[in-house]
Structures are given as C-alpha cells and as structure tokens.
Copies of this chain bind each other. A is one copy, B any other.
Amino acid sequence: MTIKDIAKACGVSVSTVSRVLNNHPDVSQSVRERVQAMVESSGYIPNNSARDLVRTQSDAIGVVVRGRGNLFFSAMVKTISREIDSLGYTMVLHFIESDDDEVMAGAILEREKKLRGLLFLGGRFDYSAETLAPIGVPFVCCTYTNCFGTLSDSDYSSVSVDDYQTAYRAVKTLIDLGHRRIAVVLPDCADRSISELRYKGYRAALRDSGIPFDADLLVETDGCFEMPETYAGTGRLIESGADFTAVFTLSDTTGMAAIKALEDHGRHVPEDCSVIAIDGITVSEYVTPTLTTMVQPVEEIGRESVRILADMIEQRCTSRHLRLEAQLRQGGSIRRI
C-alpha cells in the first residue's frame, strides 16, 4: 500500500497524509485519526527518503543540561544519547549554567535547530503556562517535576525520583543512627526548584522526629551546585563553631566537597562527622570513605525520559509523569552515634 492508496482510501489528499505522518499540526483531529487508523491497519511503512522530502521538521531532540560540573547529568547524557539514537532521532545537546533560564535556552534551541522535542536535565519547578509559552514542542522535565508551578500536568511530562521523599529518607537514615544535630549544605532553600524541595524533605524528617530546626546548621551556597562553592560553604559552617554530627548534601559531588572540607579542617568522616547525599554516581564509590548516598536510577530516568518524549512527538501520548525510587547505597561515610 502506498501513500496514494492511503489518501484515496481516506478520501483526503496525499499531502494531508504526509502532514499526519509528520505530525504537522495543521490537520483536524478527525482526519488525523482516520488516517492513522488506516496507516496502522494497512501496515504501511513510510519510505524514509520520501518522508524526508515532505518533512517540514528535523529529527532533532534538544537536550538542555543545567550546571557545569554536574557528573550525574554527564552519566545520564550517555544513556539519553544512546536512546535518542536508537529511536532514530538526533540529539542536539546544549549546556547552560546553573543560574541560566532553561526555558529560554530551550526556546532558542527549538527555533535554531528546528527541534521536534526537548528534554530538560534540571530546571525550575514553578512553571506556568505563561513561562512555558516560548516552547512550542513537546518536552519532558528530566529529573524534576513542576510541583511549585501551575502548568497543567497534561501539558508536559516528567521523570524523576520524589525529591522530597528521597531527601526525607536520607535525613531519616541519619536520625535512625542517633544524629540530631544535622547540618544541610545546599544551593538555596527557596529556589522553587530541586534545592527547595529537598530542603523541605530535610525539614520534614527533623520535624517528624521531634528535632527542632536550627538555622545555624543551614548553609546556602548562592544557588550554586558546584564543588568549590560547597567546599567553601562547609568550611564556613565548621568555622562558625556550629555544633553538628552529620551533614546532608543534595548531590554526590557536593557531598564529596563537604567531606573534603571536613577532612581539611581535621574532622574525619565518619568518626567525627557523618555525611549523606543523593545521586549515586560511580566516582563517589571510589573515594575513601565510600559516600553513603541515595542512588537515583540514572539509566532508567534517562531512558524513560526519551521514550516518553518520543511518544509525545509521535502522538502516542500527550503527557506522562513517572516517579522512580531512589535506593540507599550503604557506604562508609555515616555511622551510629
């Protein structure tokens, strides 16, 4: 069966069938469904070169990666690259700084590279329909959700762990080992993004165990997720004379930087201070002590994000929200006190 046969059987023009096959928006829903049903029942396989001729869009998927030193995202990009390839798309990778606006970066990329869809690796959690208006293609929030925002769930997809729960479990792990003076080093506790959500998990774990919050044990690093800033922040905490037996950080690399600051100040981990983090990257298994951390399923998050985006692009779904579970990796950086 050729494209002409399908057009004839549906009583539409060949160009209309083309538009449906290429997900062109300018087709009525009823015609789209009719053509799709016919394509499916006929087993018609679009000829690639013919499709190339009529295709108005590229095969490009934009991947906007936030944060220059984010090794968790570096690991994920490899999985995402493989998955995008295997589904026949082309990855267009774009790095932004921690404080750049991923929506604007994505919108520019969309126009320049004629994207079919966007994956955001890291972003704000407070999108509204207005803030997302510049984005004209399907997108997936990869590693985060929109829990502070007003954007309708049906207007985007997301794949992530539950940040609040994961932070809660990390801090609860420390509390269960007898810690009550638990410091937290994080970028910003009110960023309407990942920091705020994990910070809320920290606060909730303290509260549920009857431990009062102590502002002296909170260090913010000016919105920055990088190692040098976390090292400096942990140093300030130690030098402030604050009394704490454990530190919770939001990522493995910042956890490693915190351990380094503690060691450089003569406080051994875990003997003098416990450290727990979130991520589970390979390199943190090969430091001494091995970092105890909540391991995010990095491969699954990357793979599912791409699959969902492809489903959205190819109109097999309009949106999907997937919450995955982090698992505690028993390292050597925490101890019972």
Which B residue's beta carbon lies closest to that of A283?
B283
Chain A residues numbered 277-292 whose CB sits less than 8 Å from any CB in chain B = 282-283, 285-288
**Is A309 in the interface zone, CB < 8 Å from B?**
no
CB–CB B71/A71 < 8 A:
yes
**Is A227 in the interface zone, CB < 8 Å from B?**
yes
CB–CB A227/B286 < 8 A:
yes
CB–CB B283/A260 < 8 A:
no
Instruction: Note all chain B residues with C-beta closer than 8 A to A227.
Output: 282-283, 285-286
Chain A residue total in the interface (Cβ 8 A): 32
Interface of chain A: mostly helix, strand, loop or mixed: helix
CB–CB A286/B256 < 8 A:
yes
**Is A36 in the interface zone, CB < 8 Å from B?**
no
Instruction: Note all chain B residues with C-beta closer than 8 A to A288.
Output: 259-260, 263-264, 287-288
**Is A93 in the interface zone, CB < 8 Å from B?**
yes
Given contacts A77-B93, A90-B113, 10 further A-B contacts (CB under 8 A): A69-B282, A71-B283, A81-B93, A81-B95, A85-B94, A91-B92, A93-B93, A231-B286, A264-B288, A287-B287
**Is A24 in the interface zone, CB < 8 Å from B?**
no
